[in-house]
Amino acid sequence: MKGRIERIDSDGLDVNVKGALHSFKEDDLRQITRRKPDSVLNGILIGAGVGFGVTLPLNLAIADRNEKGLAVAAAGLWGLIGAGIGAIVDLSIEEKQMVYFRPKSDISWSINPIYGNSPSRVRMIGGQSFQPSQPGNGVDPTKGLALTVRF
């Protein structure tokens, strides 16, 4: 869900999505990210450096002795063009920055009826005797339920 955070506190947060306000508690959230635009300055500097640095040796190589100043000026113009291209490229780059992350729980649990009557299959769990589930033997309602927790 993308929206603008209207309220955030210890109880949760409210997000405005296209004019509708949605409230979330901490347990409802797994991950919050925000858009983080790339810095335009580094694009300008890289583009200017490439534009000027690549064209200066070429311009100096083809220029006469009297045209060295013009060759540097032309390389400067290409540096400005490169800076503009670098700025446009950086404006189009957008990163996602992680603000909040709650890992998914690896704990699972299940409740099953206890099957069968064989005392040899009884296991002690927490001081209580339980028989493992065995489908096909029928359910004995007097045996109860087995709770399985996996970590």
Each of the 151 residues of the chain gets a pLDDT tens digit; together they read 788 888 888 778 888 889 888 888 877 777 888 888 778 999 999 999 999 999 999 999 998 888 889 999 999 999 999 999 999 998 888 888 887 777 777 777 777 666 555 444 444 444 444 455 455 555 555 566 666 776 6
Q: How far apart are CA 53 and CA 144, in angstroms?
A: 80
Tell me if the pTM is above 0.85: no
Q: What's the confidence (pLDDT) of residue 141?
A: 53
Q: What's the confidence (pLDDT) of residue 65?
A: 85
Burial category of 98 from C-beta neighbours within 10 Å (exposed 0-12, middle 13-18, buried 19 and up): exposed
Q: What's the confidence (pLDDT) of residue 50?
A: 95
**Pair 123, 132: CB distance under 8 Å:** yes
Q: What's the confidence (pLDDT) of residue 86?
A: 94
- In 3-state terms, what secondary structure has residue 20? strand
Q: What's the confidence (pLDDT) of residue 54?
A: 94
End-to-end CA distance of the chain: 30
Q: How far apart are CA 58 and CA 51, in angstroms?
A: 11
Q: How far apart are CA 66 and CA 70, in angstroms?
A: 8
Q: What's the confidence (pLDDT) of residue 119?
A: 45
Q: What's the confidence (pLDDT) of residue 125?
A: 47
Q: Which two tokens mark 36?
A: 């983080």
